[in-house]
Amino acid sequence: MNPDQAYAELIRLSRTESILSSCAQLLQWDAEINMPRRGVEHRGQQMGLLAGLAHERATDPLREELLTVVEQSPLVADPESAESVNVRELRHDYDRATKLPRDLVEEMARVSAMSSQAWAEARDKNDFAAFEPWLDKTFDLARQKADAFGYDDVRYDALLEDFEPGMTAAQLTPMFEKLRVELVPLVDALRDKPAPQVKGEFPIERQRELSEGIARTLGFTADTGRFDLGPHPFCSFIGPGDVRIALRYRADDFSSGFLAVMHETGHAFYELGLDDEHYGTPMGSAVSLGIHESQSRLWENYVGRSPGFWRHFYPGLQREFSDALSTVTIDTFRKSMNRVEPGLIRVEADEVTYNLHIIIRYELERALLDGNLTARDLPDAWRQLYQQYLGITPPDDKTGCMQDIHWSEGLIAYFPTYTLGNIYSAQIFAAADSDVGPLEESFAKGEFAPLREWLREKIYRHGRRYKAPQLVERATGGAADSKHLVASLTQRYM
């Protein structure tokens, strides 16, 4: 087989595998949005089968033969060409996939489906004891997975590679420690700073209509995605032109649901901004979850909280919720939305305290993975760190260690990507504002295409051509650095 034929076959196999994975994505979305509870065991079997089939395809020895042919050809002479990027990343994925036995892959998928349902039921009942065995099982499987992959330093690195390729715990720990040292006094300085709190009734259906309408103004169209209510906010990419966003709202708090809409719409823009021509290949895939999160946090925090944004949208919001907002000025509304107040729930946290929630989870999951912390002791350890870093103590496990779905789904080493996303987003937005701004003035006019198109050109269209640090440096002109995030928070909140 000549190199051109080998490359064409590699791409065909990659796209077939992506379509198979998209079927699993759709089943996962359905499990969280539509599936009756008694269907969980069967769904676990479905997910296990699909994971096994996908793994079988991903580890087919034919891929090794095809990769070897192409790797020795002129097709990969230019390291930034689509062909070279696809071959390099397919090799990376193949080498990792072949280290995992199929029975482990199927068991992880099966347990994830069962554990997620157990988590949802246990959280609703505030019954950590019912979820504890599933947490033990999940981390045991994570250890098996890490050991199968292999690692140079710590197990955590083997799992982190799935979400933020090239990143290690040795890099994360000092970065997070530096950030924590800077954030704790900033939180303390703002803790008692007077901030209004807008209260009132915001009927959920009207919130949905208005928030989804804003998302459409930003550029999210009905023919490329849909919104649904779910137990927690998330965004699922099913395939080209099919993005599913799940949301939850509170009738007494407009900001909670609205900021989730902005956050998940940011994720959707990244997926929809990838080149459809490259769907199913590394060139048509997100480079890392840190970069993915940078997009959701950019749209949530740097767009959705900005003065220019609300100069455009607040009059309509005030009319829609006149009972609650008729006497509330735009300045008061924004101060209420942007108030800094240490809270228990990560997804409802303000910008300044948010990363402390992530650092807590990072420390705890590393301890659980290493065996230095047992699942039984997690609730107490969680409460201790919340008191130490945020000065608050969860009154129960529902608002404590059971609030996030990630560990029940087997997503160990996922949480750090949220803070990496915040670090990247501050730097990326500043670069965009410099290149096509002032963006505040665009937002005030209801114009969001300049930002969206800049992001498409600088971030989205590259797929996995560059690693996350390279992508950030190329887009912004400087290496990724948390100083941009701290400076931005200090400037906007102090």
Alpha-carbon distances of 39 from 44, 122, 486, rounded to whole Å: 9, 17, 46
Amino acid at 89: E
- Check if the beta carbon of residue 359 is closer than 8 Å to that of residue 180: yes
262 neighbors 304 (Cβ within 8 angstroms): yes
Residue labelled with tokens 């089943």: 27
Neighbours of 354 (CB within 10 A): 21
The full DSSP string for 302-322 is IITTSHHHHHHHHHHHHHHTH
For residues 268 and 236, is the Cβ–Cβ distance under 8 A? no
Q: 3-state class of 235 per DSSP?
A: strand
DSSP H/E element including 115: helix 102-125
Nearest alpha-carbon partner for 55 in 111, 108, 134, 114: 108
Alpha-carbon distance of 128 to 234, in angstroms, equals: 23
| Residues 368-402: b if buried by 16+ CB within 10 A, e if exposed | bbeeebebeebbebbbebbeebbeeebeebbebbb
With H, G, I as helix, E, B as strand and everything else as coil, classify residue 34: coil
| C-alpha to C-alpha distance for 214 and 383, rounded to whole angstroms | 37
Q: What DSSP line would sit under 440-468, residue for residue?
A: HHHHHTT--HHHHHHHHHHTGGGTTSS-H
Q: Is the peptide bond before 438 cis (omega within 30 degrees of 0)?
A: yes
Catalytic residue at 363? no
Here the tokens at position 432 are 């965009």
Q: Which of 83, 106, 161, 264 is catalytic?
A: 264
Nearest-angstrom CA–CA distance, 46 and 428: 40
Q: Alpha helices, DSSP H only, in 338-415?
A: 351-370, 378-390
Residue 394 CA to residue 387 CA, distance in Å, equals 9
Assigned token pair, 434: 């410099």
Residue 270 in contact with residue 236, Cβ under 8 Å? no
- The single residue listed with the structure tokens 């949301």 is 247
Please tell me the distance from the alpha carbon of residue 393 to that of residue 308, in angstroms, as a whole number: 36
Q: Which two tokens stand for residue 431?
A: 């670069």
- The rounded distance, in Å, linking the Cα atoms of 393 and 426 is 30
The residues that are catalytic are 264
